[in-house]
């Protein structure tokens, strides 16, 4: 057997000692190939699926009646739909960060979390895409946004950030899918070779494309994977930059600011890592992946959260400073209105959840303990959602003319859609961990054996 | 000698226990003059394709071309739409407002480059390939788990069933198997 390297202390190990190529493969593929899913899987899937069915109900009613069932109206025309869109798309960014940027920086601890983080990206983008789609009111005409020759002789307006958004998000979804699938090909070949039943063997075989692990293939494969990582890195930064342009290009007070792109990208990674932890901690416990997702992973993810959280906190301070420094009545009022207006409790909750509580991550004991980390991750998820709500709603509801001020309150259908996408996300995730390996097996094998050829 | 055997087999395959063994075996086979051969491993081993005499590939060039086509194509499309096909005068702003065209041109650059990387990799690897003779060796299913294989193909001018088998056996493999076509 190709034996495992002597890994240093357990404390710095990205994989527990004692693993071999075979044991890693079996431990990960075993969860996929077993006949019956555990009871916990069925319970989780059942709850997620119910939420998803709730979403279908909401959408059905929405299509029958129109967006009037939501709380949006003038002046707040962007409500939950855009809040949730930005929230979901931001969550996706951690997956790309882990799979692409950490690969380029040769952070080998990314190996055991990149697969499900990429899946998370894909599912988060799917959830995000639903909101602008249905916010259009006539989603069946969504293809009008793409440039294609048509009998109406109209073309998209390329000076609009909303069209940039269409291109950014659809490119992001496509490239994430390509990246994820490319990473899956060798693992699908493993499942094809290890599945015993006829049908799974065929299905995995079709998607494995006949992969046989040839050295010539691996050479091109590694080149393609590295290039995809290199391409995804600027892409992920551009996507949330474009999302922030949706706001920053406008002249609405509180939105028209140059801090938005970096602060949105940092916030995206912040919330994304929180979601990776939210998924990784239960997955690790339920599937016995403690050998692969070690303390090192938890600690590193906690540190990334801490760092990006501080960037986000800096963004809040800059917004407040610029409100004052702009010497514009409207900008100043927007800052004051956020802190003291009708939505002030949400603003202060946001400061508490995004800035104050995550400071606990400075402590190494918190970075390494599962339960506090899980709770903080959930809190940050909430905080980042509150952030988007505060940015969007408080800027819109009181802008230039007091005569056209208003309020926004989400209706039950807004909540239905939001909870529904959480159901969609979790359903997809439960299906994913059932039918595909949640950890990249071929990459884990490179951690077991010293990379080599050397004598 | 044994020309009949040459047509009846795809090649001969040796199985090795660890990456170092397959790399050194491949190096020795290359040194012995074999060229039509391939090595199989459950994860990428850089030294292995170097041992096969492969240095680099043309995928980066394909991706570069994909990116340039995507970027130029995206930009020209925006220019043609905004300035020629559907000119909209918004407050007297220039029709060819290039700064506003950058984000979409950037996204199309990435999109086409990424598509070329994946499609190029799959096509250059000759995939999808529903049938391949190496899978006729029962042990080969370990190539996706923990097995390392070297297959010398019958198309190699130096290939000779007995000679090549003797050579492979001298490399200290776990087993040498015939690969049916």
At B67, the pLDDT band (50, 70, 90 cuts) reads: very high
Cβ distance of B114 and A228 shorter than 8 Å: yes
Judge whether A235 is closer than 8 Å to chain B, CB to CB. yes
Strand partners for B16: B148
Structure tokens at A79: 């409500």
Whether chain A has a CB inside 8 Å of the CB on B90: the answer is yes
- How close B158 gets to chain A, by Cα (Å)? 21
> Residue B127 and residue A156: Cβ atoms within 8 Å?
no
Residue A367, SS3 per DSSP: helix
List all residues of chain A from 19 to 78 with a beta carbon under 8 Å from chain B.
20-22, 25
What percentage of chain B reaches a pLDDT higher than 90?
43
Q: What is the pLDDT of residue B178?
A: 86
Give the residue extent of every domain in chain A: 10-148+232-448
Is B128 at the interface with chain A, CB within 8 A?
A: yes
Better-scored residue on pLDDT, B15 or A12: B15
Would you state the structure tokens that stand for residue A102, as one six-digit string?
A: 């950490």
Using a CB-CB cut-off of 8 Å, the residues of chain A touching B42 are 21, 25, 186, 190, 213, 442, 445
List CB contacts (< 8 A) between B49 and chain A. 215-216, 218-219
The pLDDT tens digits for A11-48 are: 567 787 778 888 888 888 888 888 788 898 999 999 99
| Smallest CA–CA distance from A174 into chain B, residue | B111
Residues of A in contact with B46 (CB under 8 A): 222, 451, 453
Could you tell me if B36 lies within 8 Å of chain A, comparing CB atoms? no
Q: For tokens 């190699």, name the residue.
A: B156
SS3 content of chain A, % helix, strand, coil (to 5): 75, 0, 25
**Cα A437 from Cα A25, distance rounded (Å):** 10
Alpha-carbon torsion (A31, A35, A36, A42), positive or negative: positive
Domain boundary assignment for chain B: 3-56+132-179, 59-124
Alpha carbons within 13 A on the beta-carbon side of A170: 15
Q: Reply yes or no on whether the pLDDT at B19 is more than 50.
A: yes
d(CA A83, CA A77): 11
Name the band, by pLDDT with cuts 50, 70 and 90, for residue B157: confident
Query: Is residue A410 within 8 Å of residue A7, measured between CB atoms?
Result: no
Distance CA A448, CA A24 (A): 8
Tens of pLDDT, residue by residue over B85-126, are 999 988 888 999 999 999 999 999 999 999 999 999 999 999
Q: Is there a contact between A167 and B104 if contact means CB atoms under 8 Å apart?
A: yes
Looking at residues B40-49, what average pLDDT do you find? 89
Separation CA A101–CA A226 (nearest Å): 10
Parts of chain A with a pLDDT under 70: 1-12, 449-455
End-to-end CA separation in angstroms for chain B: 20
The owner of tokens 């995939």 is B127
What is the pLDDT, as a whole number, of residue B7? 57
Q: How far is CA A147 from CA A142, A156, A158, in A?
A: 11, 6, 10
Q: Which residues of A touch B142 (CB under 8 A)?
A: 193
Reading the block at residue A305, the tokens are: 């959260």
- 3 state SS of B16: strand
In angstroms and rounded to an integer, the radius of gyration of the C-alpha atoms of chain A is 23
Whether residues B42 and A154 touch (CB distance < 8 A) is answered with no
pLDDT band at B4 (very low <50, low <70, confident <90, very high): very low
pLDDT the model gives residue A450: 52
**Is B144 close to A192, i.e. CB distance below 8 A?**
yes
- What was the pLDDT predicted at A29? 87
Buried b (16+ CB within 10 A) or exposed e, A182-215: bbbbbbbbbbbbbbeeeebeebbbebbbbbbbbb
B60 and chain A in contact, CB less than 8 A: yes
Helix (H) / strand (E) containing A295: helix A295-325
H helix intervals, A343-409: 344-351, 364-368, 370-389, 395-397
Contact assessment for residue A360 and residue A377, using Cβ atoms and an 8 Å cutoff: no
Alpha carbon of B16: minimum distance to chain A alpha carbons (Å): 10
| A contacts of B34 (beta carbons < 8 Å) | none
User: What ipTM describes this predicted complex?
Assistant: 0.91
Q: Distance from CA of residue B30 to its chain's centroid? A: 19
Q: CA-nearest residue of chain A to B174? A: A1
């Amino acid at each position: 057997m190709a034996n495992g390297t002597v890994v240093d202390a357990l404390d710095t190990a990205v994989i527990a000692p004692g693993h071999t190529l075979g044991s890693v493969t079996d431990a990960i593929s075993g969860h996929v190939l077993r006949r019956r899913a555990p009871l916990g899987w069925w319970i989780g899937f059942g709850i997620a699926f119910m939420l998803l069915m709730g979403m279908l109900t909401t959408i059905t009613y929405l299509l029958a009646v129109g967006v009037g069932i939501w709380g949006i109206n003038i002046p707040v025309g962007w409500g939950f739909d855009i809040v949730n869109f930005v929230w979901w798309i931001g969550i996706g960014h951690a997956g790309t960060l882990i799979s692409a940027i950490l690969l380029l920086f040769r952070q080998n601890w990314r190996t055991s979390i990149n697969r499900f983080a990429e899946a998370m990206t894909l599912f988060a983008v799917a959830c995000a895409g639903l909101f602008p789609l249905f916010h259009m009111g006539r989603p069946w005409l969504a293809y009008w946004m793409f440039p294609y020759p048509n009998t109406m002789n109209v073309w998209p307006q390329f000076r609009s950030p909303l069209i940039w958004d269409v291109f950014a998000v659809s490119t992001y979804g496509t490239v994430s899918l390509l990246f994820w699938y490319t990473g899956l090909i060798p693992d699908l070949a493993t499942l094809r070779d290890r599945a015993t039943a006829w049908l799974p063997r065929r299905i995995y075989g079709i998607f494995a494309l006949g992969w046989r692990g040839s050295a010539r293939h691996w050479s091109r494969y590694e080149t393609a994977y590295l290039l995809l990582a290199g391409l995804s890195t600027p892409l992920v930064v551009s996507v949330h930059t474009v999302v922030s342009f949706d706001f920053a290009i406008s002249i609405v007070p509180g939105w028209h600011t140059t801090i938005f792109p970096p602060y949105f990208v940092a916030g995206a990674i912040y919330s994304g890592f929180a979601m990776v932890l939210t998924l990784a901690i239960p997955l690790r416990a339920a599937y016995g992946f403690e050998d692969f997702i070690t303390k090192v992973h938890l600690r590193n993810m906690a540190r990334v959260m801490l760092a990006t959280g501080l960037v986000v906190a800096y963004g809040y301070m800059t917004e407040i400073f610029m409100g004052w420094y702009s010497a514009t009545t409207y900008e100043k009022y927007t800052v004051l209105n956020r802190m003291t207006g009708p939505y002030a409790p949400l603003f202060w909750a946001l400061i508490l959840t995004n800035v104050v509580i995550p400071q606990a991550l400075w402590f190494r004991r918190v970075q390494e303990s599962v339960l506090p980390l899980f709770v903080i991750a959930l809190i940050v998820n909430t905080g980042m959602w509150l952030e988007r709500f505060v940015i969007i709603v408080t800027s819109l509801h009181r802008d230039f003319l007091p005569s056209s001020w208003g309020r926004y309150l989400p209706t039950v259908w807004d909540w239905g859609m939001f909870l529904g996408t959480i159901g969609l996300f979790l359903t997809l995730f439960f299906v994913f961990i059932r039918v595909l390996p949640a950890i990249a097996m071929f990459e884990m094998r490179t951690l077991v054996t010293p990379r080599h050829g050397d004598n | 000698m044994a020309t009949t055997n040459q047509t009846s087999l795809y090649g001969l395959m040796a199985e090795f226990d660890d990456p170092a063994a397959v790399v050194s075996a491949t190096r020795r086979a290359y040194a012995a003059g074999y060229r039509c051969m391939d090595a199989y491993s459950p994860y990428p081993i850089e030294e292995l394709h170097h041992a096969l005499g492969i240095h680099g590939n043309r995928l980066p060039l394909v991706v570069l071309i994909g990116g340039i086509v995507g970027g130029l194509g995206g930009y020209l499309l925006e220019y043609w739409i905004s300035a020629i096909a559907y000119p909209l005068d918004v407050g007297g702003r220039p029709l060819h407002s290039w700064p506003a065209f950058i984000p979409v041109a950037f996204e199309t650059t990435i999109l086409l480059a990424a598509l070329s990387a994946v499609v190029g990799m799959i096509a250059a690897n000759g995939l999808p390939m529903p049938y391949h003779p190496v899978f006729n060796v029962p042990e080969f299913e370990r190539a996706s788990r923990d097995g390392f294989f070297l297959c010398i193909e019958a198309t190699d001018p130096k290939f000779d069933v007995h000679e090549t088998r003797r050579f492979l056996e001298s490399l200290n493999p776990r087993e040498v198997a015939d690969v049916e076509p």
